[in-house]
């Protein structure tokens, strides 16, 4: 079936966090046409009840048997595909608390969505936030979505990208301690990140992306004065990428490269993507520009996966005050990427 006609699969996220309620808000707003939630029916009905209590909005929640049924559900109705093997009593869990049962349920939903994506039954998957402590408490060996999905898909190598309409960053390493992240910077890891980013951009319709590579050290090492990783590892990786036809430059000073790449109103950035050496280096600049617009994209998977750029927000869970904007942006991006990235270029709004 043409991906345009396939539904999007949205995972429930952590039942104790804001995932279910922002999903309810997105469906109530009609922002996920043809989409459906993989999760627990009772949890999603609790989220719909919160929406009704706070906003006075009635959101019917319908049980479906398979992805194809989502298209038959009326607008502003929330279709739920109940996953087999979920723990009992999820809707009775307390908001804002780490619970192994919520972690187990979240992992179960992610695996179910990945299976549908691998079988070509959905256009892509959008994952609501999970809590890493709950995942660990459930005995999961993976620290987050990205690593779990990599294992499920049998992907050789994946990378995390955080994107909004102004800035797009791709990470060399993801969920590692800073000490381990520094050790993970190698010629091969930087080169592979460049290859993955370049190939992904081509699938979006950006045939010759301008990729900037941030240095690891202050001032990109200042010629070896503040560290030699740029000279020994990052620079040679860039040179190797350029020999492969990738338009990569750097290493650039990390305290200015993100500003140079930013596409601000009336100012076209110098670069289409920035390769960051570790998690916080790349994610802080994007999140500073606005959490509500950021979207997390996993590059290197054989299917589309996006997510909002925030976490479970336990302090807001159950209040009905969580903002669904980033989730809605993630759904729009997943739909666009699932359709082959039509119209996605350096100035195409929130698309990567």
Instruction: With a cut of 80, say whether residue 343 has pLDDT above it.
Output: no
Output the pLDDT for position 348. Answer: 33
- Predicted local confidence at residue 215, as pLDDT: 97
Helix (H) or strand (E) holding 105: helix 100-118
- Is the pLDDT reported for residue 144 higher than 60? yes
Split at pLDDT 50, 70, 90, the class of 338 is: confident
Give the pLDDT mean for 253-260: 96
Q: pLDDT tens across 230-240, in order? A: 999 999 999 99
Percent of the chain with pLDDT over 90: 73
Arithmetic mean of pLDDT over the chain: 90
Of 144-148, 286-290, 334-338, 343-347, the one with minimum mean pLDDT is 343-347
Confidence of residue 1 (pLDDT cuts 50, 70, 90): very low
Backbone angles phi, psi at 310, to 5 degrees: -125, 175
pLDDT above 90 for 53? no
- pLDDT by residue (tens digit) across 73-114? 988 899 999 988 999 999 999 999 999 999 999 999 999 999
Residue with tokens 């869990």: 93
| Pairing assessment for the beta strands 295-299 and 305-308 based on DSSP bridges | antiparallel
Mean pLDDT of 331-341: 79
- Predicted local distance difference test score (pLDDT) of residue 346: 31
User: Sign of torsion, CA 46 48 49 54?
Assistant: positive
H or E stretch at 271: none
Highest mean pLDDT among 118-132, 156-170, 326-340: 118-132
Cα separation, 287 vs 339, in Å, equals: 26
pTM of the complete model:
0.86
| Dihedral Cα 171, 175, 189, 163, nearest 10 deg | -10
Percent of the chain with pLDDT strictly greater than 70: 95
| Number of CB atoms found within 10 A of residue 184's CB | 15
**Per-residue pLDDT at 154 exceeds 50:** yes
Specify the pLDDT at position 133: 96
Give the contacts of 46 (CB within 8 A, at least 6 positions apart).
Answer: 20, 91
- Residue 340 — very low, low, confident or very high, per pLDDT cuts 50/70/90? low
The average pLDDT across 264-277 equals 92
The pLDDT of residue 347 is above 70: no
* Confidence band, pLDDT 50/70/90 cuts, at residue 4: low
User: What is the β-pairing status of strands 211-214 and 168-171?
Assistant: unpaired
Show the tokens assigned to 282. 């790349």
Walk me through the domains of the chain, giving residue ranges and CATH numbers. Answer: 1-155+293-352 (3.40.718.10), 165-289 (3.40.718.10)
State the average pLDDT over residues 135-141.
95
């Amino acid at each position: 079936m043409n991906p345009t006609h396939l539904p999007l699969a949205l995972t429930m996220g952590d039942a104790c966090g804001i995932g279910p309620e922002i999903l309810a808000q997105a469906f109530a707003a009609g922002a996920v046409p043809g989409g459906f939630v993989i999760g627990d029916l009772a949890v999603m009905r609790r989220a719909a009840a919160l929406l009704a209590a706070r906003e006075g909005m009635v959101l019917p929640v319908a049980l479906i048997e398979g992805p194809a049924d989502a298209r038959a559900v009326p607008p502003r109705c929330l279709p739920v595909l109940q996953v087999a093997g979920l723990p009992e009593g999820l809707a009775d869990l307390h908001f804002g608390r780490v619970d192994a049962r919520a972690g187990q349920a979240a992992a179960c939903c992610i695996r179910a969505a990945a299976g549908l994506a691998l079988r070509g039954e959905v256009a892509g998957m959008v994952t609501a936030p999970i809590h890493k402590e709950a995942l660990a408490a459930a005995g999961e060996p993976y620290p987050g979505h990205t690593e779990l999905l990599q294992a499920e898909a049998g992907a050789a190598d994946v990378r995390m990208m955080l994107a909004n309409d102004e800035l797009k960053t791709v990470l060399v390493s993801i969920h590692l301690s800073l000490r381990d992240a520094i050790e993970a910077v190698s010629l091969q890891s930087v080169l592979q990140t460049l290859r993955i980013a370049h190939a992904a951009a081509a699938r979006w319709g950006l045939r010759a992306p301008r990729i900037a590579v941030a240095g690891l050290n202050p001032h990109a090492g200042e010629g070896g004065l503040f560290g030699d990783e740029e000279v020994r590892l990052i620079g040679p990786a860039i040179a190797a990428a350029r020999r492969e036809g990738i338009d990569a430059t750097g290493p650039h000073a990390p305290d200015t490269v993100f500003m140079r790449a930013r596409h601000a109103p009336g100012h076209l950035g110098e670069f289409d993507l920035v390769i960051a050496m570790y998690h916080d280096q790349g994610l802080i600049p994007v999140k500073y520009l606005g959490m509500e617009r950021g979207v997390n994209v996993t590059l290197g998977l054989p299917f589309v996966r996006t997510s909002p750029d925030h976490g479970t927000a336990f302090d807001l869970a159950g209040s009905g005050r969580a903002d669904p904007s980033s989730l809605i942006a993630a759904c729009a991006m997943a739909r666009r990427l699932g359709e082959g990235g039509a119209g996605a270029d350096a100035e195409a709004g929130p698309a990567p």
